Structures are given as C-alpha cells and as structure tokens.
Amino acid sequence: MINTEAIVAKPTLTGERVELVPLGPRHADATYQSLQDAEVLRLTGTHAVFTRAQIERWCATRAEQTDRIDLVVEDRQTGEYLGELSLNEIDGDNESAGFRIALNSEHLGRGLGPEATRLILKYAFDAIGLHRVRLEVFSFNERAIRSYEKCGFVREGRMRDALLWDGERYDTLIMGMLRDELR
C-alpha cells in the first residue's frame, strides 16, 4: 500500500549540491526557457512547441496533481533553475511509477542528475512506498544511460525505432529499478 499523502505533499528534498522543490507558477519563465534549448528538446524527444501560456498553466496546476510529483532541480547555493524531474503515472495498485528528468544542457556532466535522481528515488521508495520505478531513455543518450545505471537502474527492454529525430530513427531503452536496487 502506498502513502498517497506523500504524493499530495509535493516535498522539498535537499542534497549536497541540489535541492528539489515543487514546480509552481514562479518557475514558468525558467521552464519556458528550458524548452527553447535545442539539446533539451533532442534528449527528451520533444517535438511539440509550447506557448508561454501553456507553460504557465502547466506550472500553475502541478500542486493539485494526485498521480504525479513534479519538482524543479535547483542549485542549492544559488537557487538557480537547473532543470526539472517528475515521478509520473504513479500506480498505487502496483506500487510503481514512471520517472523522467531533464537538466538544462549547460548543467550536464556535473553529476547533478544522479544526485537529483537519488533524492527523488529515495523519496519514492521510502516515503511513498513504491516497489518499482521505470524510465525510458533514447539509445543515443549514453551519458544518461550511464547515469541511470550508476543509480541502480537496469535495462529491461528496447523499443526499436521509437524516435524519429531529424530524419534519423533511434531506439528507446526501457529501464527499471526495484526498491532494493537503489544505490
């Protein structure tokens, strides 16, 4: 049985270098700007173009969601917006959820992603009581794959030619982690 109050609570989680804070209206500018970053769009496979108004609505409604947690990754010292992450499609019956993270391209390769990932996974397993967390990552994103494996995710499957980006097709890897696999 999962703790639904831990989902509704939208926690703030503090690590050594990052702090995860609930995504809200004050993050609309930074969120919109991150969606102008061509590398963020490529790494997330985002083809859609979002208007400023759409992003404002998205940020304004995150607190009321009962099947997901959307958090901003901030620099703990400066409060700078580094990116965002979410636990989504939280399934209480099966004690499972999806996970995704998107850091702005200038913050990649600094170990911030694994730190943020471990913080939310610890919350997912310990506070919410999930048994399993899954994610999808494109086969060309080797840095993210290494990062996920470093955290304890295991490759479970492959969806062939799942992404069409700039005329090239790429596989999507499916990765998962069980509660006792968190590193």
Burial of 164 (0-12, 13-18, 19+ CB in 10 A): exposed
Residue in this structure with the two tokens 């703990």, named with its chain if needed = 76
pLDDT score at 183 = 73
In terms of pTM, does the model score above 0.85?
Answer: yes
Distance CA 96, CA 176 (A): 10
pLDDT score at 107 = 80
Distance CA 130, CA 108 (A): 28
Three-class SS string for the chain?
A: CCCHHHHHCCCCEECCCEEEEECCHHHHHHHHHHCCCHHHHHHHCCCCCCCHHHHHHHHHHHHHCCCCEEEEEEECCCCCEEEEEEEEEEECCCCEEEEEEEECHHHCCCCHHHHHHHHHHHHHHHHHCCCEEEEEEECCCHHHHHHHHHHCCEEEEEEEEEEEECCEEEEEEEEEEEHHHCC
Phi (first) and psi of residue 72, to 5 degrees = -95, 140
Look at residue 167 and tell me whether its pLDDT is greater than 90: yes
Average pLDDT over residues 26-46: 94
Mean model confidence pLDDT for the chain = 95
Look at residue 175 and tell me whether its pLDDT is greater than 90: yes
Span 67-93, pLDDT tens digits? 999 999 999 999 999 999 999 999 999
Span 86-118, pLDDT tens digits? 999 999 999 999 999 999 988 888 889 999 999
Burial letters for 3-38: b for 16+ Cβ neighbours within 10 Å, e otherwise?
eeebbeebbebebeebbbbbbeeebbebbbebbebe
Ordered structural domains, the chain, with CATH: 4-181 (3.40.630.30)
